Chains A and B, each alone.
Chain A
Amino acid sequence: MSCASVKQRLSAYLDDDLGRDEGRSLAEHLAGCASCSDLWRGLRSSLHVLRGLAPLVPPESWLSQVMARLEMERRDPGLSWLFRRGWAGRPLLVQSVLAGAIVCGLGLGAALVLDAVPSLLKGHGWAWLGAPEPLPPVADVSVPRLRDAALADDFVPPHEDSLFFETRVLQDGRVGEVTLLDGRIADAAPLINALRRERFEPARYKGRPVAARVYRLISRLDVRAPKT
């Protein structure tokens, strides 16, 4: 047996994995070859020290830490339940699934009922529960109107003029903001102040108030000086 093949078989020889003849042949080679014999002794010696390594043990508190972590996990398993098999550690699984199914069924049933009978609801003022109604055409919506006419009576214009206003009317009829778009501010100031105190009636569509958060009214007012 050559030195190269002995080197290849030393590990198997160590584990007694060679056949009887092969083992005997290798042993004879080792007895006669100083180089291979050195190698053999070095190998055995290195493995001997590996076997003799002192056992490593974790500190005494380590076991308590493991058990504490385990207890934490038992109480609040986090995402670890995703990796468990079958019914392991899920004592309330059936009850939870049942409760979830009931809740989902009720939700789905309610949605189906509301979807199927919107026409029944419409006639009883519950139209908002059904499908949204299309927006009414702008031309059919009446503009908000002033509730009283005191404004014109109190206003005494100093000059003849044409005033353009933008009035923002809120949903409840109050005036949010009045902006003079064109005209003399000195002429318009009393009118703007009066407008801010006014209240409007909401816009209507087919007799019913239209829900809108704000209306922007642009109006023109031609004022003439009082006749002397």
Chain B
Amino acid sequence: MASDVAVSTAKGLEAAPEAEDALLASCRQGDTQAFARLVARHEAMVFGLAARLLGDPEEARDVAQEVFLQVYRALEGFEGRSRLKTWIYRIVVNQCRNRRRFWRRRAHARSCPLDSLTAREEARLAAERGDQDGPFAGVARRESAARIHAALARLNFEHRAVLLMKENEGLRCDEIAAALDIAEGTVKSRLARAREAFRRALGPDFGRERP
């Protein structure tokens, strides 16, 4: 039953993008299908950010579920002072931070590389492209992604969050500040340090190898 909802709503989303306010209003009235549309709209963003922040796709799936359940529970209290997306970003980062602390307290470094997931993604993208680039391009892309993820993993959590939100998610500094509930100046200084740390972590030869 739930899968039917998911499929039909995902198709509906592609067909006619719904206004955010209307979607929120439907969700608040307990419309499960509307909430499924909301999840489908934001799942890639939530899952992608969680996976890259935690460095573990399994954990990211779990965290992403928690995020949407929290969104559902707190939807009544969402006053719309920030954009829905910004609000969801805040929940994602907080959930990931809590999850990290949880594992830290148990002295258990739970992290597995994103390589396997990236490989799957690459395979899917290659299939969609009809393998025009050939197998070597896929391998190179995968290796490159693994290096990027390794470099990201070397940053501290707050720097990684700011960097990913800015460069990968394309948020503005004021949006990041709103999402993380910090000053915009703090975002900019963290961003500068994170960029530099990421460049160093990637290594000096990384950019030069690229065509």
Contact = CB atoms under 8 A, between A and B. Distances in A.
A159 to B, nearest CB: 81
Contacts of B141: 54
A194 B5 CA distance: 85
Chain B residues touching A, majority SS: helix
Interface string A43-54: 111111111011
Interface stretch (A68-76, A125-133, A150-158, A218-226): A68-76
B92 interface: no
Nearest to A88: B76
A80 B148 CA distance: 38
A43 B196 contact: yes
A21 interface: no
B125 A57 contact: no
Contacts of A83: 73
A17 interface: yes
Nearest to A54: B121
B45 to A, nearest CB: 9
A124 interface: no
Given A12-B188, A83-B73, A85-B77, A63 B39 contact: yes
Contacts of A44: 207
A140 interface: no
A67 B5 contact: yes
Contacts, number: 152
A49 B76 contact: no
A53 B125 CA distance: 12
Contact of A54 (B6, B35, B122): B122
Contacts of A86: 76-77
A56 interface: yes
A58 interface: yes
26 contacts: A15-B173, A43-B199, A45-B210, A46-B195, A46-B199, A46-B202, A46-B207, A47-B167, A49-B210, A53-B145, A53-B148, A55-B44, A55-B48, A56-B48, A58-B60, A62-B61, A63-B39, A63-B40, A64-B5, A68-B2, A70-B35, A70-B69, A80-B73, A83-B73, A88-B77, A89-B30
Contacts of A80: 69, 73
Given A12-B192, A46-B206, 14 more contacts: A11-B191, A39-B199, A41-B207, A46-B202, A50-B168, A55-B48, A57-B47, A66-B65, A67-B2, A67-B6, A69-B65, A70-B68, A84-B73, A86-B76
A66 B68 contact: yes
A65 interface: yes
Nearest to A9: B192
B36 A42 contact: no
Contacts of B199: 39, 42-43, 46
A89 B77 CA distance: 12
Nearest to B201: A46
B204 interface: yes
B167 A42 contact: no
B33 to A, nearest CB: 9
Contacts of A58: 43-44, 47, 60-61, 64
A71 B32 contact: yes
Contacts of B43: 57-58, 62-63
B144 interface: yes
Contacts of A59: 61
B168 to A, nearest CB: 6
